[in-house]
Structure 1
Amino acid sequence: MANTLYDAARKRFLEGQLNWQTDTIKVFLVDTGAYTPQTSTHEYLSDISSSARIAGPVTLTSKSTVGGAADAADITFTSVTGASIEAIVIYKDTSSEATSPLIAYIDTATGLPITPNGGDIIVTWDNGTNKIFKL
């Protein structure tokens, strides 16, 4: 699968229900051996089993939207262990997995897949025009 936004997130952005700059946006690392993305039907964090979430969540900071591109400061997942990581999932945290909307699925990035060895994993977002993703 290529990097994409979840369909429900696209709808939420268009209807003003997601605000990249003011909402609490979090990221976790995913084992696709335990999670098969269904971006047209998966809508909430509860659609991804906890066993598929290898590291995180980490809260995004310094978010921006210049040129319609979502961007944020690079993030670090500390002391990561567990299964192989093949993807990154971004979501809006509402404090409930059943209502926390999934935003983006990224599986095509430098360094993916990666096998954790107990060290830190640093996610460096693209500095090109599309940043993390572009609407």
Structure 2
Amino acid sequence: MNTSYPKGMEKLLSGSINASTDTLKAALLPSGYAFSVSHEFVSQLGSIIGTAQPLLNKTITGGVLDADDLDFGALAPGSTIGSVVIFKDTGNTSTSPVLFFLDTVTGLPMATNGGAVTIPWDNGVKKIARINLPIYPKAAEKMWSGSINFSADNIRVALLPSAYVYDAAHEFLPDVGTLIGSALPLDGRSVAGGVLDADDANFGALAAGSTIGSVLLYKDTGTPATSPLIARITDVLGLPLSTNGGGLALQWSNGAARIFSLVPA
């Protein structure tokens, strides 16, 4: 059921994971391990099979994390490998956060027999892990590198006209063109369980004559040319919406994903 650990995704959203520079490792877990959303650190996983191996030659392109295939060397016979866990190694299992749980991996489950074990990563679009839409690919790269902190950074919400054409290469605020009305701070934010949520946004009265097509999140650095786009959200009740001079209050979803989630549904 390849998935992510909610506590690990909280750390990713809070900017405390830098996949480019942190020591990320992969560990083999026995088939008896039961995934739990409450697991936060390696010490909670129980025993691992063999020795955890570092992710070598990591790359992050367009929000996709990849690395060399894993070589665990010869493993003693008598175990059954059921899954792979990716974690950030702090040098202490009690503080090393778990990030991803992968049990849909070529060759698993696998009984060890004393021979060498290698684990190939997916060669499809997901590779090891992928931060996908509604996140802009360039924003996903920044999230992987820990340069966006959804708890502390000045994150703002804005309205995009229906004429805006999404482009995966868009990176900074000027790339989207003219906004409708004024951007608002994303107040009351939380990243619990890897899910971004916030207070609803009241844009007040908007001049008539525009059509709102989607909602934009971006990090405001104080300079538009360096303010990175984060996400374009199109699945909003009531959009597209023609402005008529009346007030507009944006209500975020009350579903499990809220604004967006880094944990698969």
In the alignment, is residue 84 of structure 1 matched against residue 83 of structure 2?
no
Aligned equivalent of 1:41:
38
Partners of 1:48 and 1:129 lie apart in 2 by 28
Indicate the SS of the match to 1:46: helix
The amino acid that maps onto 2:127 is K
Kept after mapping to 2: 8 A contact 1:5/1:103: yes
Aligned equivalent of 1:113:
109
Moved over 6 A (4+): none
In the alignment, is residue 57 of structure 1 matched against residue 56 of structure 2?
no
Kept after mapping to 1: 8 A contact 2:31/2:109: no
The amino acid that maps onto 1:4 is T
Aligned equivalent of 1:72:
67
- Cα distance, 1:56 vs structure 2: 2.0
- Cα distance, 1:124 vs structure 2: 0.9
- Cα distance, 1:95 vs structure 2: 0.6
Bigger strand fraction: 2
Give me the identity figure in percent: 39
Structure 2 residue runs without a partner (length 5+): 132-265
Indicate the SS of the match to 2:8: helix
RMSD: 1.0
In the alignment, is residue 100 of structure 1 matched against residue 99 of structure 2?
no
The amino acid that maps onto 1:72 is A
Aligned equivalent of 2:7:
8
Kept after mapping to 1: 8 A contact 2:87/2:97: yes
The amino acid that maps onto 1:79 is A
Kept after mapping to 2: 8 A contact 1:26/1:92: yes
Partners of 1:18 and 1:32 lie apart in 2 by 28
- Cα distance, 1:121 vs structure 2: 0.7
- Cα distance, 1:125 vs structure 2: 0.7
Number of residues of Structure 1 aligned to a counterpart in Structure 2: 130
Larger Rg: 2
Give CA-to-partner distance per residue, 1:78-117, whole Å, 9 cap, x none. Answer: 1112410110011100011110000110001110000011
Partners of 1:108 and 1:127 lie apart in 2 by 13
Higher RCO (Cα < 8 Å, 6 or more apart): 1
Kept after mapping to 2: 8 A contact 1:76/1:121: yes
Partners of 1:110 and 1:130 lie apart in 2 by 14
Structure 1 residue runs without a partner (length 5+): none
